[in-house]
């Protein structure tokens, strides 16, 4: 069916998920909504994250989406189950796909997870991994320096390398750790640096890539992949500044992103 896939995030991080969806599912149309104005969600109380996430979902429901991707770790941790219960179309978060891919990849059963302080403190990845295999050893580490780095566009060169090396230093003592989950949607932008620092024996899992894979799995399983000949149409909405969003999106997508509109979530009525 020609309906688009909806993607929500607290800001721009989820664009790494959107770009993977466009790469892996080139026939599908994407509608992305980043709540840039109220970003980040991490430090906010749970009730506020739930309210803001629902405001985003209510907006996307006016666009007749066939599936919802919560491309935000905080919103996934707090609202995924509630949205799955409430909505009639499939809902996928970013945490479980990364956890499942790590279990598929790991031979030693020792898995690392890096993310923001909020995500690491929530223990959402630990729970997702242990739910599938209680014998897994999880090594987790907050890397608060990475998001500011990526948002400033410093994704290569010696400054970025120094920050990554210092942040990941204590991960390097885990000799049996053979898999590392990038538990933040910003981190794929510095995946090469992370791989270089952590070493070639560790498989680095990008949750964006894995989330797109699971969207493909579920749409395929439910026979909802688009099979027609129409060109895909992607559109991006932000609650913040259109030009700033456009600049970041164009840099991350490595091509000019024009289809960006500003939206005021308070004007959206709940369906």
**Would you name the residues annotated as active-site residues?**
72, 184
Give the range of 147-155, 157-165, 215-223, 247-255 binding a copy of itself by CB under 8 A: 215-223
- Partners of 69 in the beta sheet? 7, 92
**150: number of CA atoms within 13 Å, CB side?**
26
- Residue 259's SS3 state is coil
If binding is defined by CB under 8 A, does position 178 make contact with a copy of itself? no
Known binding-site positions? 9-10, 41-42, 73-74, 185-186
Closer to a copy of itself by Cβ: residue 62 or 221: 221
Which among 18-26, 59-67, 152-160, 259-267 is the span making contact with a copy of itself, rule CB under 8 A? Answer: 18-26
Examine residue 121 and tell whether it contacts a copy of itself (CB under 8 A). no
Nearest approach, Cβ of residue 198 and a copy of itself (Å): 19
Rounded to whole angstroms, the Cα distance separating 62 from 270 reads 9
Return binding residues for substrate. 9-10, 41-42, 73-74, 185-186
Instruction: Take residue 101 and report the two structure tokens written for it.
Output: 């891919």
Which is closer to a copy of itself, CB of 25 or CB of 260?
25
User: φ and ψ at 207, to 5 degrees?
Assistant: -65, -25
3-state secondary structure 106-174: CCCCEEEEEECHHHHHHCHHHHHHHHHCCCCEEEEEECCCHHHHHHCCCCCCHHHHHHHHHHHHHHHHC
Q: Which of 45, 47, 88, 135 binds a copy of itself (CB under 8 A)?
A: 135
Q: In the complex, what is the shortest distance from the CB of residue 216 to a copy of itself, in angstroms, rounded to a whole number? A: 5
Q: Please count the residues of this chain forming the interface with a copy of itself, following the rule CB under 8 A.
A: 29
Nearest-5° Cα angle at 20, 162 to 159: 10
Q: Does 108 bind a copy of itself (CB under 8 A)?
A: no
Question: Do 138 and 111 form a contact (C-beta atoms < 8 A)?
Answer: yes
Summarize as ranges the residues that interact with a copy of itself (CB under 8 A): 24-27, 90, 92, 96-97, 100-101, 103-104, 131-135, 209-210, 212-214, 216-218, 220-221, 225, 227
């Amino acid at each position: 069916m020609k309906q688009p896939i909806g993607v929500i995030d607290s800001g721009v991080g989820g664009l790494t998920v959107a770009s993977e969806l466009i790469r892996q599912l080139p026939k599908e149309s994407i509608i992305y909504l980043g709540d840039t104005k109220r970003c980040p969600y991490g430090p906010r109380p749970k009730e506020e994250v739930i309210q803001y996430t629902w405001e985003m979902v209510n907006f996307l429901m006016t666009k007749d989406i066939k599936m919802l991707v919560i491309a935000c770790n905080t919103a996934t941790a707090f609202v995924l189950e509630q949205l799955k219960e409430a909505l009639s179309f499939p809902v996928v978060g970013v945490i479980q796909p990364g956890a499942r891919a790590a279990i598929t990849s790991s031979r030693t059963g020792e898995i690392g997870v890096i993310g923001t302080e909020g995500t690491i403190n929530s223990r959402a990845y630990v729970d997702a991994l242990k739910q599938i295999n209680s014998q897994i050893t999880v090594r987790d580490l907050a890397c608060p320096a990475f998001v500011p780095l990526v948002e400033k566009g410093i994704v290569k060169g010696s400054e970025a390398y120094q920050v990554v090396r210092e942040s990941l230093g204590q991960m390097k003592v885990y000799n049996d750790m053979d898999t590392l989950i990038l538990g933040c949607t910003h981190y794929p932008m510095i995946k090469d640096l992370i791989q270089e620092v952590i070493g070639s024996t560790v498989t680095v899992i990008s949750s964006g890539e894995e989330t797109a894979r699971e969207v493909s799995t579920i749409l395929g399983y439910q026979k909802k992949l688009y099979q027609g000949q129409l060109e895909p149409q992607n559109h991006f909405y932000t609650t913040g500044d259109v030009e700033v969003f456009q600049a970041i999106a164009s840099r991350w997508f490595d091509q000019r992103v024009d289809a960006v509109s500003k939206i005021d979530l308070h004007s959206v009525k709940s369906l």
